[in-house]
Amino acid sequence: MVHCHDRSTEPPREARGPEEGQRTLAGICADFARREADLARRAAAAGLTRREFVEGLAAGAAAVGACCAAGGVARAADAPSTPLVPPAPRSRVVVVTHPEVIIKDYRVNPPIIGQMLDRALAELTGKRPSEGAWGAVAHEGDFVAIKHNSIGRPTLHSHTEINDAVGARLASAAGVDAKAVLAVDRDVPPPYNEFSDPFALPSRGLTTRLRRLYTDKATAIVNVSVLKAHFGEGVSAALKNHLGSVNNPAAFHGWEPGQMPRSLPELGALAPLRTKTRLVVIDAIRPLFAGGPADNEAYRWDYRALVVATDPVAATAVGLSILEKKRAEARGKEWPMTAARQMVAYAQSIGLGTGDLGRIDVVQADMA
């Protein structure tokens, strides 16, 4: 059993819609397209290539093309055909399903969870668990922090059986000391609950502090989140999971274009989280495709899947595509999650991972 602190009693936040006056994705991308076209004209006037011109500008200009590409909105006619953002590297995501993972309602079958994780690691690494697949996550001498999500209890949280299975396999197959695996959400035990010196997030000037568990103690992090819509147009998955790891989560909230769509990727890009994250698991066993973060049975369905990767952006992009497909089925037409798309696009633009589904190799592993 994983050493797990999970006593969070914070009630779920009430659902609310997007803020009045929020700009549409089409409007934002049209504005980006106009700016991109202006950059191209200015580069031509200066006798420079677009790349040379952009390298001389502020780094933020390099995000111009990514939002439109990820949002699926056509660019203005006068925008250059060659994007200013280099293509993201290819990433790999495993979506593993099992028809018997659910016992009843929200209860799951622990042995099957373990089998699903073993299959996912084999698909990710090309090795069987007995051949060292779990050694890609951690090894002897590591201290592993499993960041899970308990905020939606009792029916909308990441299953603790995932934490237990990860911890057991790291101990048995990777040589990690069982006492060096700690599963936490917001209730972190001392002395790891202390907060670090402040980090500044660039786009908003927002400062935040991480638990010292992540900055000082952990040498490896496993990000275990739950797949659900959040405030209508946003998504709670891997990129949002570490709001439980900071001193001021309320300062992040708001899915307006300049808030969580930028601040969450910048949080994930902080060195302690970016460099130590070894595995990402999104619990998509019973996702929530609309509303949120509060539970609503009308928007739940049994998907019976885990989304597993090493890239939190790619995992979130695949989770988002799962939700949007279900939303389209429910409404009978496209029902995009605008703010979530902006977040994924921005995360790719700052180099945190790959959000472009065309550059993500999705492995569908359906287990009988």
Task: Name the average pLDDT for the chain.
Answer: 83
pLDDT tens for 75-85 read 222 323 333 45
Query: Which phi and psi angles does 138 have, rounded to 5°?
Result: -160, 170
Structure tokens at 78: 């006068």
Confidence at residue 126, expressed as pLDDT on a 0 to 100 scale:
95
Asked if 236 and 323 touch (Cβ cutoff 8 Å), the reply is no
Confidence at residue 130, expressed as pLDDT on a 0 to 100 scale:
85
Range scoring the smallest mean pLDDT among 22-26, 258-262, 271-275: 22-26
Q: Is the pLDDT of residue 20 over 80?
A: no
Structure tokens at 19: 């803020």
Quote the radius of gyration of the chain (alpha carbons, Å).
20
Confidence at residue 5, expressed as pLDDT on a 0 to 100 scale:
53
Q: What is the largest CA-CA distance in the chain?
A: 66
Segment 178-191 mean pLDDT: 96
Q: Mind giving me the DSSP string for 311-330?
A: -HHHHHHHHHHHHHHHHHHH
Segment 345-368 mean pLDDT: 96
Confidence at residue 40, expressed as pLDDT on a 0 to 100 scale:
60
- 291 pLDDT band, cuts 50/70/90, is confident
- List all residues 6 or more positions away from 332 whose beta carbon is below 8 Å from its beta carbon: none
The SS3 assignment for 200 reads strand
- 121 pLDDT band, cuts 50/70/90, is very high
Q: Is the pLDDT of residue 45 over 80?
A: no
Range scoring the smallest mean pLDDT among 86-90, 168-172, 298-302: 86-90
| C-alpha–C-alpha distance, residues 145 and 125, integer Å | 21
Q: End-to-end alpha-carbon separation of the chain, Å?
A: 26
Q: Is the pLDDT of residue 224 over 60?
A: yes
Ordered domains of the chain (ranges, CATH): 3-18+88-366 (3.40.50), 25-71 (no CATH)
Confidence at residue 36, expressed as pLDDT on a 0 to 100 scale:
52
Structure tokens at 270: 């902080």
Q: Is the pLDDT of residue 281 over 90?
A: yes
Confidence at residue 328, expressed as pLDDT on a 0 to 100 scale:
97
- 133 pLDDT band, cuts 50/70/90, is very high
Confidence at residue 155, expressed as pLDDT on a 0 to 100 scale:
82
